[in-house]
Structure 1
Amino acid sequence: MTDERKTDRDDDGLESFFEAARRMEPTPSDALMARVLADALAAQPVAAPRALPRPGAWAQLREALGGWPALGGLATAGVMGLAFGIAAPAGLADLATAVLGQSTDTYLVDLMPELDFDIAMDLSEG
């Protein structure tokens, strides 16, 4: 248990030790300072390696489509579609008549009517 009664002389025995500690100037040894400095240098972060430059927009698009072979096929299909649109081969009309019959009617079918509203809203917010 602790004694709650305290007198002024209770700390006199310790006061001489405290006074000696106040008078002593703490100076670390050279060996300690060298070890602290070596530890500090070892703990410093190393410079990060230089990041590779980010590919441009065209390079990203090319890779997203599958590289050069896929772009070659896409370009070929685009050119052939343009050629068929400008000057359709004569046999193509005969093939359509043979497959679809003599009277061919063209109908416009909206397969996704719910997207019209979404597209209109996107354009108006634009």
Structure 2
Amino acid sequence: MNTSRDDTGLLISMAFSNAGHVFTHMLTILYATAVLYLPGEFDLSYGEMLGLSSVGLILFGVGSLPAGWFGDRWSQVGMLVIFFIGIGVSTVLTGLSTNTMHLFIGLSLIGLFASIYHPVGIAWLVAC
């Protein structure tokens, strides 16, 4: 029997899950649009600027394997906390980048932290 308290917890879980999913996809693809403006800021070609995101995109896929493992064996909620804090800090650092090395590191960290959501967040939502 569901109580009002159970329904509230489920709604909160769904809200966090949806927010995580939006942040994951929005932040991993946002650079593809922002890069149209950046070559003039960093004195690199469009192709070179686009290449800065390649490691982050690889980490987005490869990082999901250890993220899922930690989510199953340690804590799904703990991994989601790491996801939200990590992707938030990485996004701020990327936005404050003053050179291409900082931009590369920030984009790589966004990819790494974004890799946590799909194997952990979806499993967590289903378990709720």
> TM-score higher than 0.5 here?
no
After TM superposition, the score normalised by the length of structure 2 is 0.21
- The structure number with the bigger radius of gyration is 1
TM value normalised by structure 1: 0.21
